[in-house]
Amino acid sequence: MVNANEILDSIRPQLRDHSQETRIRDLYERTHTAYETDGRQGIKRELEAGWVDLQKKFDAAIEAVKKDTGLF
Amino acid sequence: MSEFTLSKLEITGFRGITARCEIALGKPLTIIFGQNRNGKSSITNAVEWCLFGPEVAKISYGDIRERDGWEVQNLNGPTCHVQCEFLTPEGRILTVRRTYKTARTSDFSYEIEGGEKSTDEKKLHALLRISPNDFLSSVHLHPEIVRSLIVARPKERKEAIDRLLGLSELRDMVDAFVSQKPGDWIAALDQKLAVLDARLTTALSDKKRIIDDESMDLMSRGIEKTELTPEGAQRYAVKVLDDLRGFASQYRLTAPAVQPPADFAGIQQFRTQLPTSIQKLRNEHPALADQGKYLIRKSTLEGFRSSHANQIKNVESAKVALTSYPEKRSVEELGAEVSSVKQTLEGIKTDIGDVAKNARVLSEALTFFKDRVPDEQLACPVCGETTHSVDQWQAHIQQEIAARNLEPLAARKQELTEKISTLEQSIEAKKSLLKKATDETAKLIASVKTIEKALGRTISESDDPIAILTAEIDALATTLSSMQEQIAAINLSFSGFQDALLNLDRFQRVGKAQQEMAKIEAINENDTYKGLQALRREADQYAEDAERLIEGLKNTVNKEAQQRLANVQDAISATFKRLTNRPDYPGLEVSLAPEGFVIELTSQSDTTRAVPILNHADINCAALSIFLALAASSQIAHRLGMIILDDPSQSLDIVCKKNLCSLLSDLCGSRQVILATADNELHKFADELPKNKVSYTVRDWTPKGGPLVEVEAAAEVYAV
């Protein structure tokens, strides 16, 4: 497997800031570990875990806006 | 060699092999020769099944079809078992074993000499740094795989070369990322946001419509446009309360206890309390109380009057029914007649009995005299008719008695019986009519009593209750009429209060809609909405991170591929040149392009796509060149220091076969080569190679016995 630094080096000009680099490094390491354990399913699971969490928060926020505005 | 090499193979009951078969492979070159369908491929395939088990049967790669519905267990052999022994770079023995259980399961174990036994397949694959896919394309070279390198679809060719380069897992990882489509995540969120925005827009328009409609309504009720504000609503509420208090004061009623609203929000509570206060004033108002009392009394008396009038009619009707009954005699007179008729009837019954008795005596007398009186003419004493025998005379006499006495008596009896019945019915009818008349009269008397009680006075027989009631009702009507103006004025006030309540509702709706509109219009300042937008940015960031990571992975894999290709490019071209000796395009070049890998033929002055101009043999040569160059390269990622070539000489001419053997001879210096072939020429050339080698012949295969595997020759070549 390739080193995270190699990946980050190849996209560094496109990165916004150091925090994005840290996040991507973390994401790669997590997904890489998941891939080694469960292959493609591991990546799917790992990516979805973060995304599903965001989606849930997002849906809850929409409901909160609806409730807060008293419209629905 | 610094990698793992295969030193021994034991096969039992695997595919074409039945009985246990042991093959020593320790030499740099192993040749397995035999005609087709004699079990060569079973021997070479046993290695991959031992290493990867049922997983290899699931792999679909390129044009390989031989694993479709793979029958691993030989039905004529003992339990399928394969054992591979590898020599580790440190010189120890790595033993790998697999025993068949079902098409999907097997028992697996491995151990390194002197180490612990393990059943962890992944650990072994990690040790060898190889996956089933990589084994099938970079260690075990099937003829179909060779061709897929050149002619298969770009995606499959790319996969094949990726595997040769040891990049397949990285590519797989990239594909796994790409298949998640981070861009779609954001689209899904934006869709939800769009729905929310649409709802907000609709809500705004709804609120505006409510404000317009209710404002219009309020203005049509005399509210100034300038008052259509929360403050105006509050002023209106205070005014309503003042009016109520003024009303209470005017009629000396208790002032409402409700307090004016402190602000717009307070109108809600004010509005809730107000109806109770209004109702209290209504209940307390003396004029309304009197009016209610009079109305109830008037209504009650009207009811009595109507009821009494009906009762008079009922009494009259009962009397008429009695007097108009056809039977005019009294019940007593009718009873006396019934007694008289019953007495007469009893006399008739006695007469009938007497006649019957006499007739019986006469009949018995005649029967007695029958045999004593000779037959002669006998005359009837009643009618004078003559008969010629006693029997005839007797029958005639009986008929005469019946006709002249019994039948008239029976008719009279029937007549009297019917008369009694008729009289008794009349008695019952008259009794019923009398009772009805009595009952109705009693009710009339009770009605009078009720009226007396209601009026609080005595009504004598000479008084007309109806007239008395009518006078009282008229008096009440006059009173009520005199109150009408005052009541109307009071009701008008209450009606105004009810309208005010409705106006307060309108004010509230306007105010609420205005507040909600303001809230929607200032949505961007709303903390919850800000939170939503922050989450949207966070999601954007997450998706962007994933996209960037994919981009980085792609860059890195491509860079790695380019680097690895660059390192073997010369070797590929040189191998091709050695294999084919083409005068026009002696070289072969593999390069990375956006759609995958491009394979081109090269000359000193020109480059062209390989596939259109190569014949079948040259395509095989091109594929072999890539495979062999990469196999010999230090770029190979796995640690298996061997290659297995299964029938690599298909379509090759004799020169190419010789060249191939020459190349394999060179490859033996860095890789263990296991060559399975049915090709006599290739076998001969390989056999002649001056290498440390072992050669097996596989032949005489039968379903029950499997193949006969013989060591043909083992040659040791020593350095001089």
- CATH code at B389? 1.10.287.370
Higher-scoring residue by pLDDT: B423, B151: B423
Q: B200: which chain A residues are within 8 Å (Cβ-Cβ)? A: 69, 71
Of all residues in chain B, the one with the smallest CA distance to A11 is B552
Query: Closest Cα of chain A to B559: distance in Å?
Result: 9
| Domain-ending residue, one of B429, B450, B471 | B450
B214 to each of B210, B267, B495, how far by Cα in Å? 6, 17, 20
Q: Which pLDDT score is estimated for B581? A: 85
CB contact under 8 A, A24 and B545: yes
pLDDT at residue B96, rounded to an integer:
97
Dihedrals phi, psi of B140, to nearest 5 degrees: -100, 105
Residue B1 has pLDDT above 60, yes or no: no
Is 70 exceeded by the pLDDT of residue B113?
Answer: yes
> In the predicted model, what is the mean pLDDT of chain B?
88
Give the position of tokens 């150091």.
Answer: A18
Q: CB-CB: which of B180, B196, B545 is closest to A20?
A: B545
How close is the nearest chain A Cα to the Cα of B57, in Å?
18
Q: pLDDT tens, B651-698? A: 889 999 999 999 999 999 889 999 999 999 999 999 998 888 899 999
Specify the pLDDT at position B304: 96
Q: Whole-angstrom Cα distance, residue B131 to residue B163?
A: 10
Burial of B429 (C-beta count, 10 Å sphere; 0-12/13-18/19+): middle
Contact B189 A50 (CB under 8 A): no
The structure tokens listed for B158 are 């790319």
- Which pLDDT band, with edges at 50, 70 and 90, does B375 fall under? low
Q: Is residue A56 predicted with pLDDT exceeding 50? A: yes
Domain that holds residue B350: 325-450
Residues 140-159 of B with CB under 8 A from A: none
Q: Report which of residues B180 and B498 the model is more confident about.
A: B498
Rounded to whole angstroms, what are the CA distances from B469 to B309, B458, B479, B481, B675?
11, 13, 15, 18, 133
Mean pLDDT of B580-596: 83
For residues B592 and B558, the answer to whether their CB atoms sit within 8 Å is: yes
Q: Rounded to an integer, what distance in angstroms lies between the CA atom of residue B526 and that of residue B627?
A: 64
Closest-CA distance of chain B to residue A70, Å: 8
pLDDT in the model for residue B122: 87
Checking if the pLDDT of B491 tops 60, the result is yes
Contact B176 A54 (CB under 8 A): no
Domain spans of chain A, in order of start: 4-69
> Which has more confidence, B216 or B650?
B216
Q: Which amino acid is at B382?
A: V
Task: Return the residue in A57, A71, A72 with the most chain B beta carbons within 10 A, the one to mutate for interface testing.
Answer: A71
Which range, B106-110, B254-258, B262-266, B632-636, is most confident?
Answer: B106-110
Query: How many domains does the structure of chain B reveal?
Result: 2
pLDDT of residue B487 exceeding 50, the answer is: yes
Strands B5-12 and B81-87: antiparallel
Decide if pLDDT at B576 tops 70.
yes
Residues 6+ apart with CB under 8 A from B280: B254, B256
How far apart are alpha carbons B270 and B261 in whole angstroms?
6
pLDDT at site B69: 66
Q: What is the pLDDT of residue B458?
A: 94
**Residue that is last in its domain, among B450, B469, B490:** B450
A58 vs B192: CB contact, 8 Å cut-off? Answer: yes
The last residue of a domain, from among B450, B467, B498? B450
Q: CA-to-CA distance for B358 and B352, rounded, in angstroms?
A: 10
Q: How far is CA B549 from CA A36, B183, B226, B260, in A?
A: 17, 13, 61, 66
Q: CB B531 to CB A71 under 8 A?
A: no
**ipTM of model over 0.90:** yes
- Please measure the distance between the N-terminal and C-terminal CA atoms of chain A and give it in whole angstroms: 51
Return the number of other C-beta atoms located less than 10 Å from residue B288's C-beta: 19
What pLDDT does B63 receive? 47
Which helix (DSSP H) or strand (DSSP E) does residue A41 occupy?
helix A40-69
The pLDDT of B511-529, averaged and rounded, is: 86
Residues contacting B189, CB < 8 A, separation 6+: A55, A58, B536, B539
Placement of tokens 């009349």 in the chain = B426
pLDDT exceeding 70 applies to what percent of chain B?
92
> Could you tell me if residue B385 is inside a domain?
yes
pLDDT value of residue B387: 77
Indicate yes or no: CB of B526 within 8 angstroms of CB of A47.
no
B555/A14 Cβ within 8 A:
no
Residue B407 lies in a domain: yes
Contacts 24+ apart (CB under 8 A), B368-373: B370/B394
Best to test chain A binding among B170, B535, B547 (most A CBs inside 10 Å): B535
- pLDDT tens for each residue of B61-112: 544 555 656 788 888 888 999 999 999 999 999 999 999 998 888 999 999 9
The answer to whether residue B60 scores a pLDDT higher than 70 is no
- Contacting residues of B for A17, CB less than 8 Å apart: none
Residues of B in contact with A14 (CB under 8 A): 548, 551
pTM, rounded to two decimals = 0.56
Closest residue of chain A to B167, computed from CA coordinates: A1
Assign B174 to helix, strand or coil. Answer: helix
Q: Does residue B208 lie in a domain region?
A: no
Q: Average pLDDT of A16-34?
A: 93
- The nearest CA of chain A is from the CA of B266 a distance in Å of 19
Nearest to B249 by CA among B224, B284, B216: B284
pLDDT tens track for B420-442 = 999 999 999 999 999 999 999 99
